[in-house]
Each structure stands twice: as structure tokens, then as C-alpha cells.
Amino acid sequence: MLRRALWVPAVCALFAAPAAAQLQNDLLDVFTVQVKPDKMAQFDAAGKKIVAANRQNKGSDWVALAQEYGQGYTVRFISTRPTFAAIEEASQAFMAAMNKAYGKAATEQIFRDVDSSLVSSQSEIRRRRWELSSNVPADAGAMATMIGEARWVQTTTVHARPGQGLKIEEQFRAVKAANEKAAAKVTVLVSQAAFGQTGTVYYVTTFRKSLGDIDSATPLSQLLGDDGYRKFQAAASEAVLSTESTLSRLRPDWSNPAEPIVAAAPDFWRPKPVAVSRAAKEEAPKGAKKQ
């Protein structure tokens, strides 16, 4: 199961039209797991082995998010890919890296350790909706910098009523127009489930450098104005089945991001091991009897 999804590449939505030709990566391969609370240490250990194998052997790349506000013990692994063929190629690179690092038998055991630590898992492919996203970075380098400098991901999942997707998209366009006219340029990225979901599902995502960024966010009612907000609420009541808002923290220890992302904040994504002083090494363990 796991080998197919992240650990066979799989952050929530990314990216708008003029930039799309330069950014290219239109697909998000997303693997979402809910970890058993008493198995988090097992999950963590296996996950770090998977990260190490892919870093050392030029395997696949992905970014991991741990959901802090929303359903607990939920982790997402996300990869961006230009095509469906690229998803398959990344999966092959992932498995090659794992087998090179540990051999087939040990690799299978790592996957079993991960699977046995989970309550549930879900694999999904989302397609970026460039034309519904606002203030998209100018190119792939700027996009990588935005992700690399972020520490939190704010996402609203919108489930549409049957046949009401176009009405929701009309409101997304209204929000996009208002966002791009606002003085503060906030990037809002929209994607839509292509495979692995039931019905029509949209994801609206903003990367945040800190939770404090949310304090300065312009309320939607103010952004759209009184008349625009009334239209938004009326459309939502007719077209939206349900919504869910979550906040997730980026987890570098469970991630193997592409190098441009790492370059934006190397101390965060590739922290150097903490040096242990000679005095600390020589210090007697707790509980040891003094001679």
C-alpha cells in the first residue's frame, strides 16, 4: 500500500494561467495516512529510513505535512509531477533507491512496519487549477522559494454538491480577482481531485511562514465587499456540500524535497547534526553510581 502512494511519491494544492507554462508541474500525487497514536515512534523510524534511502540514492522527492489542527495523527506526503508518466517514473526511482539502500527483504519489512502503524491511508491525484489560483509565483524558482520558506500550510477542502462545481468555480474566480487587486499579495493555490476522491472536490491552499501570517490576513467579507460577499454566501449555500479547514506543519525529517526547495532554507530542510561536546560524552549516565 505504502510503496504505491508516497513512499512512492506523493502538499496540498499549488498554483494560475500565465505562470503555468513556466511552472509545468500540473499534478499533485498525494498520500494521506492516519497513524495509530501508540505506533507513532514505529512510523517515525520507518519513515526516516525511507527518507534516507531516497536522499542517498537519488530516488523520488516529496514534501511531508503533519496536520496540527484537524484530525489528529494525520500526515500527508505530496509530490508534484508534470504528467502521469512522470508519476510512474518517480515510483520506479523510489523503489530502486529503497532496494539499493536496504535490499528487497529489508525494504519489504520497512513497508510492513509502516502499514502496521496506520489506521488508514488514501492515495489521490489532484490537478492544479491555475485559472482559479491567485498571485501565483512568476516561475518555478519563485514557487520553490515560497514552499522552502514556509513552515505551515493552510488548506480548505470544498466538497461540491452534484452538478454544482461550476457555481463554486465562479466564486473562486471572484476571490481570485479580489485577491489580485488587494494591496497585500497573498498566494492562494487551487487544485481539484482527479483520482482517489468521491464527487467533485477542490482544495484551496496558502503557504504560511508562521501562524502569525494568518493574523494579518484580510477577511473574505472585506476582500469581496458587502455585495460580493453576499453573492459568495448565497452560492456556497446552494453549491457546497461541506468544507473542512486544516493547518499542517511542514516536516523536513519526513520529507525529501527537490533541491530548489532545500536551497531556500537549507538549515530547516537539511539541519546539521547537533555536535555533542566532549564533556557531555564523558558525563556519567543518569542513575550511575559515582566511584
**Cα–Cα distance, 15 to 24 (Å, whole number):** 10
**Cα–Cα distance, 274 to 85 (Å, whole number):** 40
Quote the pLDDT of residue 241: 97
**Cα–Cα distance, 260 to 62 (Å, whole number):** 12
Length of the chain measured in residues: 291
CA dihedral 280, 285, 287, 288 (to 10 degrees): -110
Which residue pairs, CB below 8 angstroms and at least 24 apart, start in 144-147?
A: 144/258, 144/260, 144/261, 144/263, 144/264, 145/260, 145/264, 146/187, 146/207, 147/11, 147/14, 147/63, 147/207, 147/257, 147/261, 147/264
**Cα–Cα distance, 213 to 151 (Å, whole number):** 11
Task: Please answer whether residues 256 and 142 qualify as being in contact, where contact means their C-beta atoms are separated by less than 8 angstroms.
Answer: no
**Cα–Cα distance, 231 to 6 (Å, whole number):** 39
Q: Which residues pair with 69 in a beta bridge?
A: 247
- Domain coordinates of the chain in residue numbers? 17-269
pTM: 0.86
DSSP secondary structure code for residue 10 in this structure: -
Q: Tell me which residues of the chain have a pLDDT lower than 50.
A: 1-23, 284-291
Quote the pLDDT of residue 170: 97
Query: CATH top-level class for 17-269?
Result: alpha beta
**Cα–Cα distance, 14 to 16 (Å, whole number):** 9
**Cα–Cα distance, 152 to 42 (Å, whole number):** 24
Q: Is 251 exposed, middle or buried (0-12, 13-18, 19+ CB in 10 A)?
A: middle
Quote the pLDDT of residue 272: 85
Q: What is the number of other CB atoms lying within 10 angstroms of the CB of residue 266? A: 13
**Cα–Cα distance, 79 to 68 (Å, whole number):** 20
C-alpha pair distances (Å), 188 with each of 49, 99, 135, 146: 33, 39, 7, 12
Quote the pLDDT of residue 187: 97
Q: What is the number of other CB atoms lying within 10 angstroms of the CB of residue 227? A: 8
3-state helix, strand, coil in the chain (%, to 5): 45, 25, 30
Closest CA to 174 of 245, 225, 215: 225
